[in-house]
């Protein structure tokens, strides 16, 4: 069995219906570890070594967060800056993450409105660059737009899809697109 | 004839046996000393005679106690207390003297002179016992505690005119010898006091500074003792109470920078001499005389207690003491004090009283002192448990508000927690035993209740059943741990958050599986550490990170050391290693942070 690590970053997770639904789906899975960054480090002091060890233990890394200003919440970004260090994730001997699988799972509030600036994918290059710099394999992101007006059924359906993708991965080691 | 060394040995052995036993039985140390005295005294095992000589030496215990209390009181504070000292104190002495005097005159058919004398003597309370119990129970800071202290202080002052009018009483009695004009001696006293205050202000500090600069600890101690004893000697020469002299010396030094040094120097002497004092009181109890007619003595002591307690309760009511504190205030001063011995002795010398009466009265005085710890015990075990539990609930109306949080202790630590919760509309019930604090907080809209949080009935009344969290923020470490233990037992569902005073306290919390603790001062010290780094030119964020790393490492190490606590050697080596680890960690981290500037240059 493969193991998956979900890094969840939402500063006010109580307010997020979708993220909560996804987390609820994933928490019971045996081979999936949900790591809630804002619960773990409310004071923004990330324990780098612990995070690196966690990464090493898992085969698939998932970032689950709401899209804030076309990017990630601040603690997630801090996590990147602190944990993906030179000598660990890149640079000389920075091969510790090589070959691991990765996908991004984000939720957006208003995206999909006529006023939305193009496609969400337009804002993924920095993510992809980061992941590939670390030698990890980029898989197709999972996006749920328009969470503000989504019905309970739609949310459950999305959460279920994410869950299915994780179970599949853990069982087969293949990250199928959804 | 036995040697002095033998006496000291007997004193120490008797104290070493009796005091710990009494303390264990919850009887308090005062009773222990008293019992020790009764056992070794001339009416007990007759190991030691010459009670009076010992009494004279041991009076210095009271003297030193008064000096220490004086040290705690700045002149300004004393001035603030003037109303309660002169108003409350004056009324107490006056009303108790009158009531007891009238009783003596009409029920015991004594002459007016004798009635006045006994009234005065019995109005006095024991400074030594009262203050010892108040400070042991940490009640000196409460309203009733400071009232009691005011009264005791006034009594010490009142002894002077009492002794002064003794010769006047002899005019009524058989023999009369005229001793000079009492007003002249009062004038003399005032002059000397004024001189002492002026000289003390001007000279004493310089002298202390000079002696402190010598860095000879024992010379400093010697000077401190000299100061106290010298002052007392002077006062005694003037016919004023020695304790008052020492108290004044203390007040004179209260706002000097040597206050704490003096305090720590005098403290051990005080404790031992106080013990000696109580032993000598115990020795002076004439067991034989009492055993001849025990009922008579018991009734007399009870009468004194009833009268004094009733009058004190009335006074406390008049001076608006918080209701819950009135009973304790009333009983704590109900014994007759050591100055009664002095007055009775003087009266015997002036032949106002005959030897037999003096013997009886002395026994009553000593018995009443012996009774005080017992009444306090009765108050604690019976009144507080069965009577007050119900009545405080009525008075304070601790309605179960279903607050999710109970905060025990609302000092500087608990307050911050309370205010944060309050501002966020999280209901919290607060328990504290500092009444002045409570009144102030209530005015600000906090729900604060007066009471000893270590009492489970109070905790229950405060809604412990429905609360989720108990914050233990009381000052006293042992009380806090006691509270945790009993709360765990009575309300196992409560999540406990504790304030830790130091590392040892942390370990004791960990022993109890309390891991939600915060070390007081710790976080603020770390912040200060960051500020220092920043002031040294470090970037602000980097200084904060350094403190964060330190915190993580320190917390981790603490848990590890707690596990190895039983093995001191291992603990020392581990903590040494931990220090090295931390240093290495910082080196690595700072190295990394310095290098990350090159980040953009790296491919």
CATH number at residue A30: 3.40.50.360
Q: Give the distance from CA B230 to its chain's centroid.
A: 25
Which of A43, A45, A46, A92 should one mutate to test binding to chain B, selecting the residue with the greatest count of B CBs within 10 A?
A: A45
Label residue B595 by pLDDT band (50, 70, 90): low
Q: What is the pLDDT of residue B27?
A: 66
Q: What is the mean pLDDT of residues B114-126?
A: 88
Name the CATH superfamily housing domain B402-519: NAD(P)-binding Rossmann-like Domain (3.40.50.720)
* Domain carrying residue A99: 4-172
Residues 6+ apart with CB under 8 A from B53: none
How far apart (Å, rounded) are the C-alpha atoms in residues B30 and A159? 72
CB B337 within 8 A of CB B281: no
* Chain A contact set for B548 (CB, 8 A): 43, 45
Q: What is the mean pLDDT of residues B424-441?
A: 74
Poorest-confidence range of A126-130, B395-399, B468-472? B395-399
In the three-class reduction of DSSP (H, G, I as helix; E, B as strand; rest coil), residue A105 is classed as strand
Instruction: Say how many domains are in chain A.
Output: 1
Q: What is the mean pLDDT of residues B339-346?
A: 75
Confirm or reject contact between B436 and chain A (CB < 8 A).
no
For B485-553, give the DSSP string.
HHHHHH-TT-EEEEEE-SHHHHHHHHHTT---EEETTHHHHHHHHHHHHHHTT--HHHHHHHHHHHHHH
Please report, for residues B113, B117, B321, B339, the alpha-carbon distance to residue B172 in angstroms, rounded to integers and kept in the order given.
6, 12, 40, 23
**Residues of chain B with pLDDT > 70: what percent?**
86
* Chain B contact set for A47 (CB, 8 A): 552
Inter-chain touch B602–A86, beta carbons under 8 Å: yes
A57-109 residue pLDDT tens: 999 999 999 999 999 999 999 999 999 999 999 999 999 999 999 999 999 88
Strand partners, A61: A5, A102
Q: What is the pLDDT of residue A55?
A: 97
B92 dihedral zone (left: phi>0; alpha: psi -120 to 50; beta): alpha
B residues 458-497 closer than 8 Å to A (CB):
none
How far apart (Å, rounded) are the C-alpha atoms in residues B77 and B289? 45
Label residue B432 by pLDDT band (50, 70, 90): confident
Q: Which residue of A has its CA nearest to B544?
A: A45
* Chain B contact set for A130 (CB, 8 A): none
* Angle of CA points B431, B434, B437, to nearest 5°: 95
A144-172 residue pLDDT tens: 988 888 899 999 999 999 999 999 999 99
Inter-chain touch B595–A86, beta carbons under 8 Å: yes
Q: Is the pLDDT of residue B2 over 70?
A: no
Q: What is the pLDDT of residue B378?
A: 83
How far apart (Å, rounded) are the C-alpha atoms in residues B249 and B588? 58
* Chain B contact set for A43 (CB, 8 A): 548
CATH code of the domain occupying B1-170+186-388: 1.20.1530.20
Instruction: Examine residue A136 and state whether it is found in any structural domain, yes or no.
Output: yes
Q: What is the pLDDT of residue B423?
A: 82
Which of B527, B552, B556 should one mutate to test binding to chain A, selecting the residue with the greatest count of A CBs within 10 A?
A: B552
Inter-chain touch B552–A47, beta carbons under 8 Å: yes
Q: What is the pLDDT of residue A89?
A: 95
More confident residue, B107 or B499: B499
How far apart (Å, rounded) are the C-alpha atoms in residues A115 and A122? 15
Q: Where, residue-wise, is CATH 1.20.1530.20 in chain B? A: 1-170+186-388
In the three-class reduction of DSSP (H, G, I as helix; E, B as strand; rest coil), residue B283 is classed as helix
Cα Rg of chain B (Å, integer): 29
Q: Is the pLDDT of residue B222 over 60?
A: yes
Instruction: Examine residue A106 and state whether it is found in any structural domain, yes or no.
Output: yes
> Longest C-alpha distance within chain A, in Å?
49
Q: Give the distance from CA B376 to its chain's centroid.
A: 15
- Tokens 């600036």 locate to A117
Instruction: Examine residue A177 and state whether it is found in any structural domain, yes or no.
Output: no
CB B331 within 8 A of CB B380: no
Closest CA to B108 of B368, B299, B355: B299
Inter-chain touch B595–A43, beta carbons under 8 Å: no
Q: For B66-83, give one letter per residue: b (16+ CB within 10 A) or e.
A: bbbbbbebeeeebeebee
> How close B602 gets to chain A, by Cα (Å)?
8
B145-194 residue pLDDT tens: 888 888 888 887 787 678 767 777 765 544 444 455 556 667 777 787 78
Instruction: Examine residue A178 and state whether it is found in any structural domain, yes or no.
Output: no
> How close A69 gets to chain B, by Cα (Å)?
24
């Amino acid at each position: 069995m493969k193991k998956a690590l979900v890094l969840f970053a939402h500063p006010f997770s109580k307010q997020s219906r979708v993220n909560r639904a996804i987390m609820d789906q994933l928490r019971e899975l045996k081979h999936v570890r949900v790591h809630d960054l804002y619960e773990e480090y409310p004071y923004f002091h990330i324990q780098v070594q612990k995070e690196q060890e966690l990464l090493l233990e898992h085969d698939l890394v998932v970032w689950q967060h709401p899209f804030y200003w076309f990017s990630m919440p601040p603690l997630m970004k801090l996590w990147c800056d602190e944990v993906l260090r030179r000598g660990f994730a890149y640079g000389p001997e920075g091969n510790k993450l090589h070959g691991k699988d990765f996908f991004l799972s984000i939720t957006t509030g208003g995206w999909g409105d006529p006023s939305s600036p193009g496609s969400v994918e337009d804002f993924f290059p920095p993510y992809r660059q980061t992941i590939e710099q670390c030698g990890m394999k980029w898989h197709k992101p999972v996006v749920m737009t328009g969470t503000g007006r989504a019905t309970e059924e739609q949310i459950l359906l999305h959460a279920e899809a994410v869950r299915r993708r994780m179970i599949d991965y853990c069982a087969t080691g293949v990250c199928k697109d959804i | 004839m036995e040697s002095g060394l033998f006496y000291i040995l007997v004193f120490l052995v008797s104290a070493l046996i009796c005091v710990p036993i009494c303390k264990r039985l919850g009887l308090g140390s005062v009773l222990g000393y008293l019992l020790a005295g009764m056992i070794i005294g001339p009416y007990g095992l007759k190991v030691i005679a010459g009670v009076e000589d010992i009494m004279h030496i041991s009076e210095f215990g009271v003297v030193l106690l008064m000096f220490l209390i004086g040290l705690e009181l700045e002149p300004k504070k004393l001035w603030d207390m003037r109303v309660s000292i002169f108003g409350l104190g004056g009324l107490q002495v006056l009303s108790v003297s009158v009531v007891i005097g009238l009783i003596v005159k009409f029920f015991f058919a004594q002459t007016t002179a004798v009635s006045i004398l006994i009234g005065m003597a019995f109005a006095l309370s024991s400074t030594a016992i009262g203050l010892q119990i108040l400070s042991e129970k940490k009640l000196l800071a409460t309203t009733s505690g400071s009232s009691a202290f005011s009264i005791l202080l006034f009594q010490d002052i009142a002894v002077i005119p009492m002794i002064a009018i003794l010769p006047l009483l002899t005019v009524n009695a058989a023999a009369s010898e005229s001793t000079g004009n009492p007003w002249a001696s009062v004038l003399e006293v005032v002059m000397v006091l004024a001189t002492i205050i002026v000289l003390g202000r001007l000279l004493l500090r310089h002298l202390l500074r000079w002696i402190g600069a010598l860095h000879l600890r024992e010379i400093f101690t010697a000077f401190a003792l000299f100061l106290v004893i010298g002052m007392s000697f002077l006062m005694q020469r003037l016919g004023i109470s020695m304790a008052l002299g020492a108290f004044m010396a203390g007040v004179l030094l209260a706002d000097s920078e040597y206050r704490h040094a003096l305090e720590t120097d005098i403290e051990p002497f005080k404790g031992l001499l106080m013990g000696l004092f109580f032993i000598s009181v115990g020795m002076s109890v004439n067991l034989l005389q009492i055993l001849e007619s025990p009922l008579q003595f018991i009734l007399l002591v009870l009468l004194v207690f009833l009268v004094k307690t009733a009058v004190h309760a009335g006074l406390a009511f008049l001076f608006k003491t918080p209701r819950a504190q009135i009973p304790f205030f009333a009983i704590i001063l109900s014994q007759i004090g050591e100055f009664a011995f002095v007055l009775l002795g003087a009266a015997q010398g002036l032949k106002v009283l005959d030897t037999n009466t003096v013997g009886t009265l002395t026994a009553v005085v000593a018995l009443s002192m012996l009774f005080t710890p017992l009444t306090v015990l009765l108050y604690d075990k019976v009144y507080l448990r069965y009577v007050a539990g119900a009545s405080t609930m009525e008075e304070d109306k601790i309605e179960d508000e279903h607050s999710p949080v109970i905060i025990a202790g609302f000092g500087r630590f608990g307050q911050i927690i309370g205010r944060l919760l309050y501002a966020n509309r999280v209901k919290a019930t607060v328990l504290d035993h500092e009444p002045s604090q409570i009144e102030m907080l209530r005015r600000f809209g906090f729900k604060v209740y007066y009471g000893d949080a270590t009492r489970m009935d109070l905790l229950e009344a405060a809604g412990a059943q429905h609360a989720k969290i108990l914050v233990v923020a009381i000052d006293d470490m042992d009380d806090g741990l006691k509270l945790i233990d009993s709360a765990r037992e009575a309300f196992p569902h409560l999540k406990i958050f504790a304030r830790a005073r130091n590392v040892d306290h942390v370990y004791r919390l960990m022993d109890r599986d309390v891991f939600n603790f915060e070390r007081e001062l710790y976080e603020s010290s770390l912040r200060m550490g960051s500020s220092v780094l920043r002031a040294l030119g470090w970037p602000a964020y980097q200084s904060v990170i350094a403190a964060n790393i330190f915190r993580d490492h320190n917390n981790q190490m603490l848990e590890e050391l707690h596990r190895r606590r039983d093995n001191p050697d291992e603990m020392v080596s581990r903590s040494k290693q931990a220090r090295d680890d931390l240093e290495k960690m910082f080196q690595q981290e700072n190295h990394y942070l310095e290098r990350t500037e090159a980040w953009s240059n790296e491919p």
